[in-house]
Amino acid sequence: MQTHNTLFLGAITALLAGVGCLGNIGLDGSSTTQSDEALGGSGGSLGAGGSLNPGVGGEAPPPGDPPPDDPPPDDPGGGGAGGTEAPPVDCSGIAQHPAYELCDQSATHCAGVFTNSAGCAAYCAAAGLQCTASYGGDAGCQKETTPLDCNANTGHQSDWCECGPSTAPPSNCPTDPQNPPATVEQHYTQATFAPRSSWVLTCTNYAYTAQYAEHEACDSLYSAGSGQGTATFLLNVNPGQYDVYIEGRHTDNRNPAGMRVEVNNGTLTQVIYIMQKDNSGQIKMDLHGTYCLDGQVEVIVDSSVSNASDSVSRVRIQPS
């Protein structure tokens, strides 16, 4: 399967991943450790990172069109001479995650080790990919020989994961012709927050966990403290195959370990850590995963696992 073309595209992907890493390091140097929300949309309290994101607060739009939240759908990658129709995979989301090691990559796959118990589905989702194989593994890019189930919750701190584009048949999920799959969404104002006092809900147009008193003025039900709490969304879907997205605001002050998000539907439980720590200041839709769903879907943004700040503005479940 390996061709010169594949290797060439892999090199391009590696180059892109390297560029992403460099950018991250440079900008981390100016991050603040005090503010949960350095760039609050309406609070007016600019943290040390404020000058990195002119225009995000809505005062002065950047020149030209703002960058899209999502990567462009078509990336020519190999300069147009590629022999494959699919664009090369981009492993940079894995490479940039502090708890994920990227150990091997090509135009069609990313592979490596997670070190935070996240599981391979979460590891691969960081690059917008799905787990294609899993083995025991350990930090330092150590791959063991024991095959594991991609979707099993092994509870291991580290496993080896191999990831690729979704090659699943369009859907082998049961559907109901009378009630076909359809998109459902829930806004954060419809979620249940526990404890309410850990969450800031009325200071801007999304919810976030916080620790410091600076948010009390604009949310009287928030009180400075642990920064630990959960937000639970309950949605109902017709049977089918769906992509589950969590929307939140990415800033440099977000949880460096990623936001823990659990999706429950019947016997299905999937836990993913979504990385919101970047200096974009943008509201972004992050893919949790692609699942067969039917009926009530519970989505839990679990910010109770650390006092770091996570954010959520919306949950969207759309047919895939």
Give the footprint of Ca ion on this chain (CB under 5 A): 209, 227-228, 303
Between 202 and 228, whose beta carbon lies closer to Ca ion? Answer: 228
User: Which H, E and C letters describe 266-286, residue by residue?
Assistant: CCEEEEEEECCECCCCCEEEE
Between 88 and 227, whose beta carbon lies closer to Ca ion? Answer: 227
Q: How far apart are the first and last CA of the chain?
A: 28
Residue 116 CB burial class (10 angstroms; 0-12, 13-18, ≥19): middle
The distance of closest approach from Cβ of residue 302 to Ca ion in the complex, given in angstroms and rounded to an integer, is: 8
Paired tokens of 51: 């000058």
Q: CA distances (Å), 272 to each of 69, 92, 149, 237, 288, in order? A: 20, 17, 16, 20, 6
Between 303 and 320, whose beta carbon lies closer to Ca ion? Answer: 303
Spatial contact of 214 and 291, defined as CB atoms under 8 Å apart: no
The distance of closest approach from Cβ of residue 170 to Ca ion in the complex, given in angstroms and rounded to an integer, is: 38
Between 56 and 231, whose beta carbon lies closer to Ca ion? Answer: 231
The distance of closest approach from Cβ of residue 303 to Ca ion in the complex, given in angstroms and rounded to an integer, is: 3
Amino acid at the residue 82: G
The distance of closest approach from Cβ of residue 284 to Ca ion in the complex, given in angstroms and rounded to an integer, is: 18
Amino acid at the residue 79: G
Nearest-angstrom CA–CA distance, 270 and 264: 7
Spatial contact of 76 and 61, defined as CB atoms under 8 Å apart: no
Between 36 and 278, whose beta carbon lies closer to Ca ion? Answer: 36
Spatial contact of 187 and 299, defined as CB atoms under 8 Å apart: no
Between 13 and 209, whose beta carbon lies closer to Ca ion? Answer: 209
Report which residue's Cβ sits closest to Ca ion.
Answer: 303
The distance of closest approach from Cβ of residue 198 to Ca ion in the complex, given in angstroms and rounded to an integer, is: 7
Q: What is the residue whose two structure tokens read 């994920």?
A: 100
The distance of closest approach from Cβ of residue 166 to Ca ion in the complex, given in angstroms and rounded to an integer, is: 31
